[in-house]
Structure 1
């Protein structure tokens, strides 16, 4: 551009900016916005997570020792954890961002917790799972909202619900995971 006048250089630069802007808009129009509708998405554990509505509860799923663990007293003693960054939220719209920091697939199911029941005391069936009757929803899809085949290691899933006041149990219900310690309580006020 050394042969162009200063005005000519400015015109070329302005044209380049306009051309790049048009190309960017065309790419978003053709390929879609990876940040989700309205933008605002963020990268979490390898997934583009859209802007989540309401109060956000961040849940982490972990395991130690891989997929095969030695049972203790018929139970898979405490080798797995499901933790939430808060124990209580206000009623209304609640979004759960669930990140699998473990080495095997996990999920999170939201179940009402009766007044007289303590988290972690649901009966475990012969298949190693608990009864999900009454579930309000789940995050069990990799890099997506709602149900799926499990959240793969190093990724996230999410779910948004409207929760009335009460006590809820967040649990992983893949075979053996609940008995291994994958549950916690959330209180909605």
Structure 2
């Protein structure tokens, strides 16, 4: 191999290493400055003592910077998780924390026998039919319906739930298609 070619290869490797180091340093500085947290206006909420069995629901997305602007988003780019995944029938409170960068909501729909989560038909508007919903948490720092739970905020709702399978989902445009759903099983008392 000739000397100029060898020097060119070393130069490319050196530049690639410098670019990776710069990327890591920039990411560290942005994280330290809080660039990956929600907006400052989305302060954490004080959640009152909730009645019944409490289910913690977390909504998450990969953030505006990684996913760009408007949807539709790819599968698995967003998620919704519950803890616990099963509770007894009766009074159930959902405490929903938005760990993502975008607003989210949680709509509670009965899950028909034989149907798995994530199988609902999605309309041209990117939403599923909410007919038959038994509740919703979509108010930042408040109970029940609102305009969406802001990044870093918590919303909640308290429901009287019968035994069965329920799908918890975010029904903001294209969020369901991007993976924002989870099953909650309600057992006999």
TM-score (norm 1): 0.72
1:110 paired to 2:137: no
Conservation of the 8 A alpha-carbon contact between 1:70 and 1:76: no
Q: Which runs of 5+ in 2 are unaligned?
A: 1-42
Q: CA deviation at 1:75?
A: 6.0
Q: Distance in 1 between matches of 2:180 and 2:164?
A: 20
Conservation of the 8 A alpha-carbon contact between 2:73 and 2:175: no
Q: CA deviation at 1:85?
A: 1.0
Rg larger in structure: 1
Q: Distance in 2 between matches of 1:99 and 1:170?
A: 13
Q: Distance in 2 between matches of 1:65 and 1:179?
A: 16
- 144 and 133 in structure 1: CA distance in 2 versus 1, 3 angstrom threshold: same
Give 1:179's match in structure 2, choosing from 177, 180, 189: 177
Q: CA deviation at 1:76?
A: 2.2
TM-score (norm 2): 0.72
Deviation above 2 Å: which 4+ runs of structure 1?
67-71
Instruction: Please state which structure has a larger fraction of its residues in helix.
Output: 2
Report the RMSD for the aligned CA atoms in angstroms.
1.6
Count of equivalent residues: 143
